[in-house]
Each structure stands twice: as structure tokens, then as C-alpha cells.
Amino acid sequence: MRTRVTALLKIRYPIIQGGMQWVGRAELASAVSHAGGLGILTSLTQPTPQALGEEIDRCRRMTSEPFGVNLTVLPTANPPRYDDYLGVAIDRQVPVLETAGSNMATFIARAKAAGMVVVHKCTSVRHALSAQAHGVDAVSIDGFEAAGHAGEDDIGALVLIRIAARRLAVPVVASGGIADGAAMAAVMALGAEGVNMGTRFCATQEAPLHPNIKRALVSATERDTKLIFRTLRNTGRVLRNAISEEVVAREQAPGGATFPDLHPLVAGARGRSALERGAVDDGLVWAGQSVGVIDDLPTCGDLIARMVAEYREAIARCQAAALE
């Protein structure tokens, strides 16, 4: 396939695996890149910048295809050494940086000056326009369907991607709710030049997740996600489980809840341990509405090949309808 996104990222298919905390490791990123998409290592999954460097080296040993690094900047009392993580990606000459979060201008400028291709992921057209003004090469836009922090605007991808494609000069990558080639055809028809997926890539053979978690994703329906942290204006979409139900209940109880109140339930270490042990109800499992579309656990290679075939079928179907 050929779009501005495949040319920019030097990949065969415009299919990106978005950064994913605890999941974006070399096993998954290398498999996606090897299959012709763009795999992304998640910086903050690594405990130190040095460990990110080792993960980059490991990924390079697993694939000779290009892959990227995600840098997610979230409001926190104790910020990690973001600059040092980026420095490691620059020193290792990783070709692509996916940025997410707020106040990214200095990181974007530094990555661009070092020759990286920068794709900024955001959840609104106004943030996409501001990223474009800061010089990013492309934007990924997460619709309301997406896993993770999909913002407070609650606009679905169908509307968001259409407006973004009309208003931006840089290429738009559609993200959120995409899990097969028909959805890819839909967003490409809206003007996107690539897709970004998270949840779908969690349900693959290579995703470093316990089989119980993968089974939970396969059996979930489109109604099995929850929006947490709504009352704190930091909304996140996760799988419906005992923890997310409890978080929402505490937020909705009289007096509400603060982040410190919720911390024992949502702490990153707890989520990570639940993912590793397969304890589906003991930590947050980030997942989007596309879980309803997912019903198998293919390899990344089979998934990407199937998506491309489905994409072509969908285009042919639309073409046939246009001719009637």
C-alpha cells in the first residue's frame, strides 16, 4: 500500500501499533514491524532510560525493519526523566517518535532537530492543529472509542477523523475503534492515510500478556469497557472488571474520589502484576470498544495480512455499489 504515512515511516502497510504501557515491548513491536507495519516500544514501560536503550537493541536484533518509540507525558507528581528517555532514542537512532500527552513542544523540537520522524497522538482537532504548528510530521487522532486516555470531548472517530483530514495539512492517522480491514477502509475513506491500533494488537500471539488477559479481550463485547477518572477530568477507557467497576463506584459515591483515594486500585505496579499473572480482576486492563470486534488471537503477521485483504475487499464492495 502507498500513502504519505507509508512513505514517511518507510513501512509496507499504513498500520501502526500505538505505544502501550507494559505491552509495548520488543516482542510485539518487532513482530508488527516485521509484518510490514510500524511497531512502537513504550519508553515508560522500561524502569530507566538505560533499560530503554537495551530494549531498543533487543528489538533491533529481532527485526531489521523500522520501529518507533513512544513518549507519553502525563501529569504526575513525580515525573520520570522524559528527556533522558528521548535522549536514548535519539542516540540509538530510532527513526520514529510517537508523542502523547501535553506540553510536548520541546520534545518535538528536540526529536525533529535530531532527524526523527515525529507522530503526535492526540484526541482532538485543536490539539492536532497545535501539534502541526509545532512541526510534527503526522498526527494520530484517538476517537472516543479508543483504549486509554481518549480525552473529555467524547467525539467518535467518524466525526473526528473527517474534520481532521479536512483541516490538517500533515497526514492523519486514524486511531480508536479500529480492529479490522473494513474499519481501516472506512477511516481511509474519511481521509486518513493510516491506522493506529492498541487493543487489537493486545489480542495477538506476540503481545506480552498472560493468556487469561487475551482470553478476556476475545470474550468481551463492545459494551464491556468502562470510563474511569471521568470525575477527575482525566478520562481513561479500560476493560470492565472488578477494579474498574470499583473505581467508578467510588467516583460516583457522595463526596467523590481523588487520585490518592483511587491509587491503591489503579497503581501502575498493580496493573502490571495483574497483566503478568493473568489476574483479570485485580488491576486495570486498558482496552477500547473494539474488543467487541475481536474474536481471535492471530500472529501479528496473520493479522496484518488479513487486514490488508479485508481492506481490499471492503474497497471492492464499495466500488461495486458505486457502479450499480
Ligand X SMILES: Cc1cc2nc3c(=O)[nH]c(=O)nc-3n(C[C@H](O)[C@H](O)[C@H](O)COP(=O)(O)O)c2cc1C
Which residues of this protein are in contact with ligand X, per CB under 6 A?
Answer: 18-21, 23, 42, 70, 72, 100, 121, 142, 145-148, 175-178, 196-200, 202, 286-288, 290
Least distance in angstroms from the C-beta of 4 to ligand X: 20
23 versus 308: smaller Cβ distance to ligand X: 23
Least distance (Å) from ligand X to the CB of residue 22?
A: 7
Kindly state the smallest distance separating residue 286's Cβ from ligand X, in Å. Answer: 4
Of 195 and 308, which CB lies nearer to ligand X in the complex structure? 195
Q: Are 146 and 154 in contact (CB under 8 A)?
A: no
Going by the DSSP 8-state scheme, the letter that residue 187 receives in this structure is H
Q: Are 250 and 266 in contact (CB under 8 A)?
A: no
SS3 192: coil
Complex with ligand X: residue 97 or 146, whichever CB lies closer: 146
The closest residue (CB) to ligand X is: 198
Nearer to ligand X, 6 or 46 (CB): 46
- Residue 265, CA distances (Å) to 87, 202, 246, 272, 288 in order: 33, 22, 8, 12, 20
Q: Which is nearer to ligand X, 196 or 235 (CB)?
A: 196
* Least CB distance to ligand X at residue 40 (A): 8
Nearer to ligand X, 178 or 228 (CB): 178
Report in angstroms how near the CB of residue 225 gets to ligand X at its nearest: 9
Grid coordinates standing for 178? 479500529
For residue 124, give the nearest of 155, 158, 84 by alpha carbon: 155
| Residue bearing cell 485485580 | 282
Closest distance of CB 274 from ligand X, Å = 12
Minimal distance, residue 144 CB to ligand X, in Å: 10
Min CB(45)–ligand X separation in Å? 8
CA dist 51 and 213 (Å) reads 25
Starting from the edge strand earliest in sequence, which strands make up the sheet with 96-101, in order? 15-17, 194-197, 172-175, 138-142, 117-122, 96-101, 67-73, 39-42
Q: Is 192 exposed, middle or buried (0-12, 13-18, 19+ CB in 10 A)?
A: buried
Residue (of 134, 155, 286, 125) closest to 209 by Cα position: 286
Q: Which CB sits closer to ligand X, 221 or 252? A: 221
Nearer to ligand X, 212 or 252 (CB): 212
3-state secondary structure of 316: helix
